[in-house]
């Protein structure tokens, strides 16, 4: 790792097994960024963030950390090239969040869209939950990150991060660069009910699902509701199965489109689904085998995360020294 490389940080909640939306929307991009060799990269599994909502149900978090780590590595993240680690192993994140909280006006946090929405829908009202985006800010800037590979949904959080950086640098002097979002052009990945694929909707397909489970889920997908008989002409632009076939069967897509739209009686929705299931199974079988093998050696996964945390701590502590100095804290005088 040389000084010239730009630093990237991204974070993910320990949600357990990843689904196709996670893969196509984020993970694939991270693997490409890693393989470009242009960056020094930190990937943080944010277990403290999980506690902002799941504070009563903490028993699953450890297992989810193993599952997600196996998924990341099986999908191509290389722990030799990027630091993969657990947030709570790098206590400096918490120290930085505390110090940042001193200069963060409460209304800045209250106006973050996901906060307002979750207060209304989930009735969350804890101090920790209000501080979610501030902890995220600490995750990012503790590595003095230049870029943050995320989806569009994270842009308000990143805007807040930049505002806090400006305020900190203004008050205490330049310590942090203003991090930029690295948006990937992720395709739309619909779930079985045609909403965005999400575990909370239970409409998802996991990359590590066994073939029969994938098949069952794919067969349950909505298609174009106006196409009732095979001879009816279908609308591929609104069909969720077609959206996935574009990704997983690009070689067949022109034929499928014309058969569906012209109402070719030889080719109906069931055939589309069978093809889709076969393609997803084919693509992710090597991945599933690799993740299963990784999960048989928990000690090794633990060691990978411990190594990642060690590397992360070096950079995080370096930053905290600068921060404590800038704040004229006791320890740095
Ligand atoms: N809020 C992010 C999400 O829901 C997770 C996250 C926490 C994160 N800390 C981060 C993302 C730092 C990027 C950078 O997906």
Please tell me the total count of domains within the chain: 2
Binding site membership of 24 for ligand 1 (Cβ less than 6 Å):
no
Given a contact cutoff of 8 angstroms between Cβ atoms, the answer to whether 49 and 13 are in contact is yes
- Give pLDDT, residue 124: 83
Q: Both 148 and 265 in a single domain?
A: no
Tokens (6 digits) for 171: 């008050």
Helix (H, G, I), strand (E, B) or coil at 222: coil
269 and 129 within one domain? no
132 and 254 co-located in one domain: no
Q: Which residue, of 258, 274, 291, is where some domain finishes? A: 291
Among the listed residues 118, 271, 290, 325, the single catalytic one is: 118
pLDDT value, residue 221: 97
- Judge if 15 and 147 occupy the same domain: yes
Instruction: For residue 9, give the ligand 1 atom closest to its CA.
Output: 14
- State the Cα–Cα distance between residues 122 and 118, nearest whole angstrom: 5
Please tell me whether residues 80 and 212 are part of one structural domain.
no
Q: What is the pLDDT of residue 311?
A: 98
For residue 140, tell me if it sits in a domain: yes
- pLDDT the model gives residue 295: 98
What are the CB-based long-range contacts (under 8 Å, 24+) for 325-328? 326/172, 326/173, 326/175, 327/99, 327/172
Q: Is 81 a catalytic residue?
A: no
In a domain, residue 1? The reply is no
Active site residue 118: yes
Domain of 59: which CATH number? 3.40.50.620
In terms of domains, do 236 and 308 share one? no
- Give the closest residue to 131 by CA, choosing from 148, 145, 114, 144: 114
**The model's pTM:** 0.92
- The CA distance from 212 to 91, in Å, is 42
162 located within any domain:
yes
Mean pLDDT by 10 residues, the chain (333 residues): 82 93 92 96 97 90 97 97 98 98 97 86 89 98 96 91 98 98 88 93 96 98 91 93 97 95 91 97 97 98 98 98 97 88
- Rounded to whole angstroms, how far apart are CA atoms 110 and 255? 50
Whole-angstrom distance, CA of residue 178 vs CA of residue 299: 37
Confidence at residue 88, expressed as pLDDT on a 0 to 100 scale: 98
How close is the Cα of 128 to the center of ligand 1, in Å?
15
What domain range is 46 assigned to? 6-189+298-332
DSSP 152: G
On the 0-12 / 13-18 / 19+ scale of CB atoms within 10 A, 238 is middle
For residue 314, being part of any structural domain is answered with yes
How far is ligand 1, taken at its centre, from the CA of residue 225, in Å? 36
Query: In terms of domains, do 274 and 154 share one?
Result: no
* 161 touches ligand 1 (CB under 6 Å): no
Is 227 one of the catalytic residues? no
Q: In this structure, are 52 and 173 located in the same domain?
A: yes
Is there a domain that residue 196 lies in? no
The answer to the question of residue 72 being in a domain is yes
CATH assignment of the domain containing 259 = 1.10.240.10
pLDDT, position 185: 78
163: Cα within 13 Å, side-chain hemisphere: 15
């Amino acid at each position: 790792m040389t000084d010239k490389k730009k630093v990237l940080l991204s974070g993910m909640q320990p949600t357990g097994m990843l689904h196709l939306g996670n893969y196509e929307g984020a993970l694939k991009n991270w693997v490409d960024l890693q393989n470009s060799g242009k960056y020094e990269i930190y990937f943080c599994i944010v277990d403290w963030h999980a506690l902002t909502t799941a504070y009563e149900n903490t028993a699953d978090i450890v297992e989810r950390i193993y599952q997600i780590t196996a998924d990341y590595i099986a999908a191509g993240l290389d722990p030799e090239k990027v630091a993969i680690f657990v947030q709570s192993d790098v206590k400096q994140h918490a120290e930085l969040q505390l110090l940042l909280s001193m200069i963060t006006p409460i209304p800045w946090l209250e106006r973050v869209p996901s906060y307002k929405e979750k207060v209304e829908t989930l009735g969350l009202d804890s101090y920790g939950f209000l501080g979610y985006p501030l902890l995220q800010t600490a995750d990012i800037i503790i590595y003095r990150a230049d870029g943050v590979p995320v989806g569009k949904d994270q842009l308000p959080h990143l805007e807040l991060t930049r505002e806090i950086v400006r305020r900190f640098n203004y008050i205490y002097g330049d310590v942090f660069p203003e991090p930029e979002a690295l948006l990937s052009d992720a395709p739309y990945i619909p779930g079985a009910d045609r909403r965005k694929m999400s575990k909370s909707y239970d409409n998802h397909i996991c990359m590590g699902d066994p073939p029969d489970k994938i098949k069952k889920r794919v067969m349950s997908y909505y298609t174009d509701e106006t196409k009732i008989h095979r001879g009816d002409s279908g609308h591929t632009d609104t069909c969720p199965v077609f959206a996935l076939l574009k990704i997983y069967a690009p070689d067949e897509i022109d034929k499928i489109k014309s058969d569906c739209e012209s109402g070719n009686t030889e080719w109906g929705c069931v055939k589309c689904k069978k093809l889709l299931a076969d393609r997803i199974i084919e693509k992710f079988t090597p991945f599933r085998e690799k993740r299963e093998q990784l999960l048989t050696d928990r000690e090794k996964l633990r060691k990978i995360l411990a190594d990642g945390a060690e590397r992360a701590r070096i950079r995080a502590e370096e930053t905290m020294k600068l921060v404590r100095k800038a704040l004229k804290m006791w320890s740095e005088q």
